[in-house]
């Protein structure tokens, strides 16, 4: 039976360019990026979010559907508009982000009339994936509701995967983020943190300290991303380091972690060992950073994510 995954989060409209009179319209969101890559890697994936009933929301949904991402549980809020952010790039390639998202319907996702039906259906998935950015969208009451849904789904056999993905802009302080993230980690089976993020939130000195902390709260599988230094995998207390492959200087690191998470989870859901799944994840992320934007063209996807062939236990 094919595994089914639900990714929960926000996707916004994106304007990017050097000059305001030559901006390009696209869309972006960490969990949406992961959903797209999961779908491309053969995993049946649905996206859980809220959008408006405007033409731009229609366009985003059409784009996701063309990628094979299920949109059945995208809640549409009447007379609302999705979030928007603009990226300004200067002559040195440095980027600045400007956001208009405070009134985005996704911020009310768990209070919208159709949420109860979505929450009920989440128990039928094999894996639910979300991130620290997902949690940063909601006030305490909605986070409590989400944690209850995760706990209920887990009791019914669904696994929960989580990426800390800390963005200071979304939190009043690292301490607030730490408290909130810890409450969700208590319901997780797979953690996919980036070391730099967890240093800011939890003060982890190195990847092994990060993995140990997560293992001590009951998370059996951890993949700590360390950018060019590779990743550290900890499964049931056994630790190994998986290097990245040598390559040229990256063009754009946007979406590297999101694509890593997708390939790692896809590999694990398809029966590969943690080590091979990590190699697959490095291979996809290494391809993504050689292109501009978080989602690369389909034609640029690695022909075979893994050269290893057999599924290893």
Task: Express each pLDDT in 265-306 by its tens digit.
Answer: 999 999 999 999 999 999 999 999 888 888 888 988 997 664
Share of the chain above pLDDT 90, in %: 75
Confidence band of 119 (pLDDT split at 50, 70, 90): very high
> How far apart are the C-alpha atoms of 2 and 223, rounded to whole Å?
23
Confidence band of 310 (pLDDT split at 50, 70, 90): very low
Tell me if 95 is assigned to some domain.
no
Tell me if 19 is assigned to some domain.
no
pLDDT at 97: 79
Total-model pTM: 0.93
pLDDT at 306: 45
Q: Where are the beta strands (DSSP E) in the chain?
A: 4-8, 12-17, 24-28, 44-51, 74-76, 84-89, 95-100, 127-131, 159-163, 190-191, 221-225, 231-235, 238-242
The pLDDT tens digits of the residues spanning 36-62 come to 999 999 999 999 999 999 999 999 999
- Between β-strands 221-225 and 44-51, what pairing exists: parallel, antiparallel or unpaired? unpaired
- Between β-strands 190-191 and 159-163, what pairing exists: parallel, antiparallel or unpaired? parallel
CATH of the domain at 192: 3.40.1190.20
The pLDDT tens digits of the residues spanning 125-154 come to 999 999 999 999 999 999 999 999 999 999
- Known active-site residue 108: no
> What's 311's DSSP letter?
-
Residue of 263, 225, 229 whose CA lies nearest to 246: 229
pLDDT at 228: 87
- Active-site pick, 21, 144, 258, 308: 258
Residue of 52, 49, 56 whose CA lies nearest to 32: 49
Tell me if 275 is assigned to some domain.
yes
pLDDT at 63: 96
Tell me if 18 is assigned to some domain.
no
Tell me if 311 is assigned to some domain.
no
Distance between alpha carbon 192 and the CA centroid of its chain, in Å? 9
Q: State both tokens at 199.
A: 């240093």
Report yes or no: 147 and 187 within 8 Å, Cβ to Cβ: yes
The pLDDT tens digits of the residues spanning 4-17 come to 999 999 999 988 76
> How far apart are the C-alpha atoms of 160 and 128, rounded to whole Å?
5
pLDDT at 91: 58
Token pair 């985005």 in the structure block, residue? 104
Total structural domains within the chain: 1
Tell me if 200 is assigned to some domain.
yes
Backbone phi and psi for residue 238, each to the nearest 5 degrees, phi listed first: -90, 125
pLDDT at 92: 54
Residue of 229, 234, 207 whose CA lies nearest to 219: 234
Q: Which structural domain range is residue 209 located in? A: 4-11+30-82+104-299
């Amino acid at each position: 039976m094919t595994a089914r995954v639900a990714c929960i989060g926000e996707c916004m409209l994106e304007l990017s360019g050097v000059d305001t009179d030559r901006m390009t319209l696209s869309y972006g969101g960490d969990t949406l990026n992961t959903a797209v890559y999961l779908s491309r890697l053969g995993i049946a994936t649905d996206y859980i979010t809220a959008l408006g009933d405007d033409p731009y929301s229609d366009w985003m949904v059409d784009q996701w559907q063309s990628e094979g991402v299920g949109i059945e549980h995208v809640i549409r809020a009447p007379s609302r508009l999705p979030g928007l952010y603009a990226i300004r790039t200067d002559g040195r390639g440095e980027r600045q982000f400007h956001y208009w998202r405070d009134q985005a319907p996704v911020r009310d996702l768990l209070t919208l009339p159709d949420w109860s039906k979505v929450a009920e259906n989440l128990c039928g998935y094999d894996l639910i994936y979300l991130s620290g950015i997902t949690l940063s969208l909601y006030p305490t009451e909605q986070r409590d509701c989400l944690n209850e849904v995760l706990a209920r789904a887990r009791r019914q056999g669904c696994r929960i995967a989580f990426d800390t993905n800390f963005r200071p802009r979304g939190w009043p302080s690292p301490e607030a983020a730490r408290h909130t993230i810890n409450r969700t980690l208590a319901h997780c089976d797979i953690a996919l943190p980036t070391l730099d993020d967890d240093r800011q939130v939890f003060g982890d000195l190195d990847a092994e300290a990060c993995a140990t902390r997560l293992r001590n709260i009951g998370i059996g599988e951890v993949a700590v991303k360390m950018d060019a230094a590779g990743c550290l995998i900890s499964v049931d207390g056994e630790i190994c380091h998986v290097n990245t492959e040598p390559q040229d200087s990256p063009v754009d690191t946007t979406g590297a972690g999101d694509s890593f998470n997708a390939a790692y989870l896809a590999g694990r859901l398809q029966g590969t060992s943690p080590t091979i799944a990590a190699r697959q994840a490095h291979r996809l992320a290494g391809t993504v950073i050689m292109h501009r934007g978080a989602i690369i063209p389909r034609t640029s996807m690695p022909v075979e994510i893994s050269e290893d062939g057999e599924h290893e236990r």
